[in-house]
């Protein structure tokens, strides 16, 4: 059994809100462990449980205290386990070029009024945001990088070199994860993305998110055949960012906004993501690699 999927390599993240010119932010390099095909077959993303993730992977990679609570968003609420607490598992699979995530979230007030049919609206509810920069290049990935672009060029370049996904636990149409750019019709479909989830209880509510998505080096919204998924291999470096919104009154009305890097506008600037080093399943177990990985990553 793997002890963990993702470990902290150096002490502390940059907690400020300033930008950077390089990919990516902070001194921390996270180790992201591969989920081998045989292990992946034992994870059921539709069972509304993290027990299989714990059996296959072990302890959660990230917990609420690993995140920065942005005081400038909504009420700017800071960490209180009685208000919101969560655990996150993260991994990758080289054969399918996919990133995998699960979250168990315990929320005293659970806001989810999603009516289905529009995955672009998932961010307005208690959800999780996952951003990926597979080739570690950074940059403005929203289609706004050049003010002289035509509308067609903006659409082409939006989310082309990095991607933003949002996942939700409860949904009436059975679609739990949504890519937030043009081309969503095929990017959200098999084999590129899939998910499951659900919730139980009230005050607090425990919600489960399970999904996988695809990072692209070059996502051409109207041409899946010409798009290039990231070649995910042992030792590769990717950029990623995780944000967790908390709504206690109504959709879009933020109580708190948690981010892994503590950076503003990660929905736009990929250089504000964190660094993740891919560790292959064939290179020893996560337990064996963990201590060496911490030392190695912190000095490079």
pLDDT at 296: 30
Predicted model pTM: 0.87
pLDDT at 177: 98
The neighbour count for residue 12, using CB atoms within 10 Å, is 9
pLDDT at 23: 55
CB distance 276 to 240 below 8 Å = yes
Mean pLDDT by 10 residues, the chain (300 residues): 40 32 68 95 97 93 96 97 98 97 98 97 98 93 92 95 97 97 96 98 98 98 97 96 98 98 94 94 50 33
pLDDT at 24: 66
pLDDT at 1: 41
CA dist., res. 252 & res. 122, Å (int): 10
CA dist., res. 194 & res. 189, Å (int): 7
Token couple for 38: 């045989």
The domains of the chain, with CATH numbers, are 6-299 (2.60.40.1190)
Burial class (CB in 10 A: 0-12, 13-18, 19+), 235: exposed
pLDDT at 282: 78
Helix ranges restricted to H, the chain: 37-40, 51-56, 151-157, 184-187, 286-299
CA dist., res. 163 & res. 214, Å (int): 9
Nearest to 24 by CA among 261, 288, 192, 286: 261
CA dist., res. 180 & res. 177, Å (int): 10
pLDDT at 42: 97
């Amino acid at each position: 059994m793997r002890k963990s999927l993702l470990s902290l390599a150096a002490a502390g993240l940059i907690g400020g809100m300033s930008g950077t010119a390089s990919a990516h932010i902070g001194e921390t390099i996270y180790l992201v462990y591969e989920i081998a095909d045989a292990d992946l077959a034992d994870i059921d993303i539709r069972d509304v449980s993290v027990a299989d993730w714990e059996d296959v992977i072990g302890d959660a990679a990230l917990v609420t205290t690993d995140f920065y609570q942005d005081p400038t968003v909504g009420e700017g609420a800071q960490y209180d386990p009685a208000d919101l607490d969560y655990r996150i598992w993260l991994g990758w699979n080289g054969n399918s070029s996919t990133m995998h995530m699960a979250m168990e979230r315990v929320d005293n007030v659970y806001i989810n009024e999603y009516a289905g049919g529009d995955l672009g609206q998932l961010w307005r509810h208690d959800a999780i945001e996952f951003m990926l920069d597979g080739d570690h290049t950074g940059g403005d990935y929203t289609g706004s990088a050049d003010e002289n672009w035509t509308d067609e060029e903006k659409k082409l370049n939006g989310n082309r070199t990095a991607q933003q996904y949002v996942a939700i636990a409860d949904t009436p149409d059975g679609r739990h994860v949504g890519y937030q750019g043009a081309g969503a019709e095929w990017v959200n479909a098999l084999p590129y993305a899939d998910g499951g989830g659900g919730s139980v209880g009230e005050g607090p509510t425990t919600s489960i998110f399970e999904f996988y998505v695809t990072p692209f080096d070059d996502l051409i919204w109207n041409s899946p055949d010409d798009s290039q998924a990231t070649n995910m291999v042992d030792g590769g470096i990717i950029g990623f960012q995780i944000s967790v919104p908390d709504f206690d009154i109504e959709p879009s009305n933020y109580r708190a906004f948690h981010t892994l890097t503590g950076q503003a506008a990660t929905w736009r600037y990929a250089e504000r993501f964190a660094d993740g080093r891919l560790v292959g399943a064939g290179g020893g177990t996560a337990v064996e690699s963990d201590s060496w990985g911490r030392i190695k990553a912190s000095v490079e």
